[in-house]
Structure formats: C-alpha cells, structure tokens
Amino acid sequence: MDAAVYPGSFDPITNGHVDIIERGAQMVDKLDIVVLVNQNKKPMFSLEERMDMIYHSVKHLDNVEVHFFEGLLVKYLKKNNIKYIIRGLRAMSDFENEFQMALMNKKQCDLVETIFLVSKVEYSYLSSSAVKELANFEGNIEDLVPEYVNEKVVEKVKGGKK
C-alpha cells in the first residue's frame, strides 16, 4: 500500500489516535492525517490548535503528514489520488457508525477501501470527548494524551474558567 489517509476531528488527539497512527504508518509509505469537519460535533479547539497538537504528537514519524480539508473525505482522496482510509475501532459501539461511514464513502467512490485497526485494549475506553469531560472537571488526563496535548487542554480549560 503506497498511501492512506487517517481522517478525524481530533478534538484533541489522544494516545489512542497516536497508537493507530503509529501502526498505520508502518503499513504504508505515506500516511496523511486529515482533520475534517464532523457536522455532529462542536469542537473545543480551533482547527489551528488541533493541527498544532497533532504535529507535536506525530513529529517522530517521518512518513506522516498533517492536513486539513473542508468538505467530503472522498474529495480529498480523489484530489490526492489516495485509495485507503484507516480508522480505529474501539468497541462494538463504534461499529454501527463506522460501518455507515465506510459504506457512504464507498458509495461516493467505489475505489475507496476502509481499513479498520482494532485499538489496543488500554485505549478501548479512550475518546476525545472523555478527555475533555475529565479535564473540564479537573480530572487527570496525563496518561490519556501526549504531554504537549495535556498542557494545551489544561490551559484551555483554565482559560475558559477565568
């Protein structure tokens, strides 16, 4: 496989995302992390903040690039001549939504294939939403996100409470 895309809203990137990125990057020559708009979610972090946190979290991987795309994921894939989408699966509860998204993307472009990587057990309970909720109530998120992201989330929560 020459290239793949790892799409998401990354609000913020977690250790679970980083694990999938590290494993995905080993499977391809080039992995594009693409920050997209999820119309069902209202982000806590701006696009620039999310991309900055991703850059800091994946800078040790030399075949990984970080991009933003406003629009359909399949348009990004077509524009960049990429066939493969990598997504992480944490639990059965992810499946329905992921299944629908994979079929929708396939319907838009038949050449597209979605590859699911099963998350490590230790990350199966981890989500960006849980990280934000914990941080909002002053819980400890140190083991859940990269160190730089921890700093940024704590800063954001403190800023919001001033």
Q: State the catalytic residues.
A: 17, 41, 90, 128
Contact 84, 1 (CB under 8 A): yes
CB nearer to ligand PNS: pick between 125 and 138: 125
107 binds ligand PNS (CB under 6 A): no
Give the range of 97-105, 109-117, 134-142, 144-152 binding ligand PNS by CB under 6 A: 97-105
Q: CA dist 90 to 33, 50, 122, 143, Å?
A: 19, 21, 10, 17
Nearest position to ligand PNS, beta carbon: 8
80 binds ligand PNS (CB under 6 A): no
Q: How many residues bind ligand PNS (CB under 6 A)?
A: 12
CB nearer to ligand PNS: pick between 58 and 73: 73
Give the range of 2-10, 19-27, 59-67, 152-160 binding ligand PNS by CB under 6 A: 2-10
**Residue 16, SS3 per DSSP:** helix
Contact 32, 4 (CB under 8 A): yes
d(CA 131, CA 140): 9
Binding test (CB under 6 A) with ligand PNS, winner from 26, 38, 63, 129: 38
The two structure tokens encoding residue 26: 């080993």
DSSP state of 116: E
- Which stretches of the chain bind ligand PNS, using CB under 6 A? 7-9, 36-38, 41, 72-73, 101, 104-105
